[in-house]
Amino acid sequence: MIKAVAFDGDGTLYEGKKSIEEVRKVIEWLGERGISCYVASNTSSVDKIALYDRIGGIIDVENIYTAVDIMIEYIKEKGISVYPIGSNYIKERLANEGIEIVENADAVCVSHTKELNYGSFKKAMEILLNGGDLLAANADRYYVGENGLLPGTGIIVRALSENFLVKARVFGKPSPDMLNRIIEKEGIRKEELLMVGDMEETDIGAAKSAGCKSLLIENNIPQLVRVTADWKVNRESLMDAIKSIVGS
């Protein structure tokens, strides 16, 4: 029996900055039946308040989990310094959390950015060759923007990891970290959580890693890494599928 449902962000709950109406109706239907709904998002460019606004407030802020939140928890727990490669958002977020940002850091911290420079790669190289860790909010190959697919954080993560032979610690899906937190918060068995998303590698992969159920919303996005979901459905048939899985 499904007692909670976690939704992916980009391409599932919203496209660009616009929420998807079919999914909104599903969340309303689930809420009427007392089934908790969550967001488990790999985004590393905006915070959970911005996500809350983007999805029209349909899921409570305290039920929104992002890869950046998980990564920051880890950094603070370890008490390490970082050298960030990412947008101004992540740099400001790290600073506001009291995390030490230095060039000779304990770890390189990678998140989404549309601006790269050779100097950043040089600093990252020095840290990694000196035994530093490679931390990544996510390793997404691409993501859904307002006008189609855009290159993801994974391009940077794989360049550093492969070139300097360092295994990256990735906090976003397919890591089960966010789903495990939801299972713990709800006090449910892992098979009582359903993960709904549009990417096999990340969304369905996270569900497999966490041991929970999974529903893939099929679309035209290339699936470079195949992971079999428990259920597959197109967006127009999502409500019927959820009713069948959860029980009406």
Instruction: Quick: pLDDT tens for 192-223.
Output: 999 999 999 999 999 999 999 999 999 888 99
Are 148 and 186 in a shared domain? no
**Averaged pLDDT for residues 138-154:** 88
Same domain, 156 and 87: yes
pTM comes to 0.93
Do 107 and 134 meet the contact criterion of CB atoms below 8 Å apart? yes
Same domain, 204 and 144: no
Angle at which helix 21-32 crosses helix 238-246, to 10 degrees, equals 20
**Residue 19 and residue 53 share a domain:** yes
pLDDT digits (tens, 9 = 90+) for 11-23: 889 877 777 888 9
Query: Closest Cα partner for 6 from 142, 233, 173, 226?
Result: 173
Q: Are residues 89 and 119 in the same domain?
A: yes
What pLDDT, on the 0 to 100 scale, is given for residue 78? 97
* Total Cβ atoms within 10 A of residue 213: 19
Domain C-terminal end among 170, 185, 211: 170
Same domain, 194 and 151: no
Residue 161 and residue 177 share a domain = no
Q: Across the chain, what does the average pLDDT equal?
A: 94
- Give me the residues paired with residue 19 across strands: 14
Residues 104 and 116 in one domain: yes
pLDDT at 248: 56
In the predicted model, what is the mean pLDDT of residues 56-65?
Answer: 95
C-alpha to C-alpha distances, 49 to 12, 55, 60, 112, 177, nearest whole angstrom = 18, 10, 10, 18, 20
124-143: average pLDDT = 97
Q: Which domain holds residue 25?
A: 4-67+173-246
The predicted-structure confidence for 89-117, as pLDDT tens digits, reads as follows 999 999 999 999 999 999 999 999 988 89
Residue from 130, 146, 143, 248 nearest 203 by CA: 143
Q: Which of 135, 170, 205 is the endpoint of a domain?
A: 170
Same domain, 13 and 132: no
**Do residues 196 and 124 share a domain?**
no
For the chain, how many structural domains are there in total?
Answer: 2
Question: Are residue 119 and residue 191 in the same domain, yes or no?
Answer: no
- Spatial CB neighbours of 213, under 8 Å, sequence gap ≥ 6: 2, 191, 193, 194, 195, 207, 230, 231, 245
Structure tokens at 54: 């983007």
* pLDDT for 15: 77
Together in a domain, 87 and 58: no
pLDDT of 202 reads 97
Last residue of a domain, one of 148, 170, 192: 170
Pairing verdict, β 14-15 and 18-19: antiparallel
Q: What is the mean pLDDT of residues 38-59?
A: 92
Supply the CATH number for residue 62's domain. 3.40.50.1000
